[in-house]
Amino acid sequence: TEELLRNSEKQRVIGELAAGVAHEIRNPLTALRGFVQLFQQGSAGHPSYYQVMLDELDRINFIVSELLLLAKPQAVHLQERDLTVLLRNVLMLVDTQAIMNNVQILTEFEEGLPLIVCEENQLKQVFINLLKNAIEAMPEGGDVKVQVRRQDEDHLLIRVTDKGCGIPEDLIPRLGEPFYTTKEKGTGLGLMVSYKIIQYHQGEIEIESGPDGTTIDVILPVELTGAVAEIG
Ligand code: ADP
Ligand code: MG
């Protein structure tokens, strides 16, 4: 029964997502069609049209691949990992974006933390999402802090703090919803995917936000208990 429930929940979520994606990619497709028609009518078009078309295609590609990550059952490889090593790898990935945006990422990692059981690539995805959001929230640049410490005997706490624009309080409950975004080029998929992944890891995400910035806590158990469903 549990598996049946899980499957129907999964189908419901994917159904909702499919509806959202259809909506989300219709605009860039309409734009692309317009350009093709223009060319068909013999118009050479302005060279900048090509860049617009490429950007629109990239956007569709990005949305679809972020979605696939969620919809497709991943081959799950739960392994013991050092969270601080994992985070340092993530920091390398987002470093260029941080530098380009005048953002400095400061770390405070407690030493001697236990290894945690996790699906490494999925967890990386979560922290990439959180750090990208932190950077994007600070268009003027500034500091983002990443802290890792023991929360209690069986849990670790990862805290990402930015001094960015903040999230209006009434919007916080909507953050797990697909396609909720306040960004011109946002997808609104990052946090939803992150919630899913942390849920799978039997952890929690807590968000505190105000006009002075945002603090996101991810609390992860060191061990996973019971049978673990596939992600998605
Ligand atoms: P996206 O980044 O593509 O918009 P997300 O799911 O990652 O999608 O985030 C959804 C929305 O949540 C963002 O558009 C933004 O409004 C808000 N948000 C998330 N993180 C932050 C943050 N650190 N500071 C301010 N707003 C945030
Ligand atoms: Mg995001």
* Nearest ligand by distance to the CA of 184: 1
Residues surrounding ion ligand 2 at CB below 5 Å: 133, 190
Spacing, Cα 133 to ligand 1 middle (Å):
5
Would you say the CB of residue 148 lies under 6 angstroms from ligand 1?
A: no
Q: Where is pLDDT greater, at 12 or 133? A: 133
Alpha-carbon torsion 79, 83, 84, 88, what sign? positive
Please give the number of the atom of ligand 1 that sits closest to the Cα of 166.
Answer: 25
Please give the number of the atom of ligand 1 that sits closest to the Cα of 192.
Answer: 6
Whether this prediction's pTM lies above 0.90 is answered by: no
Spacing, Cα 186 to ligand 2 middle (Å):
7
* Nearest ligand by distance to the CA of 132: 2
| Residue of minimum CA distance from atom 11 in ligand 1 | 181
pLDDT at 158: 98
Spacing, Cα 197 to ligand 1 middle (Å):
17
Strands lying side by side in the sheet with 204-210: 103-109, 142-152, 155-162, 213-221, 204-210
Q: How does pLDDT run across 62-118, given as a tens digit for each residue?
A: 777 766 665 666 667 889 999 999 999 888 778 777 888 899 999 999 999 999 999
Percent of the chain with pLDDT over 70: 83
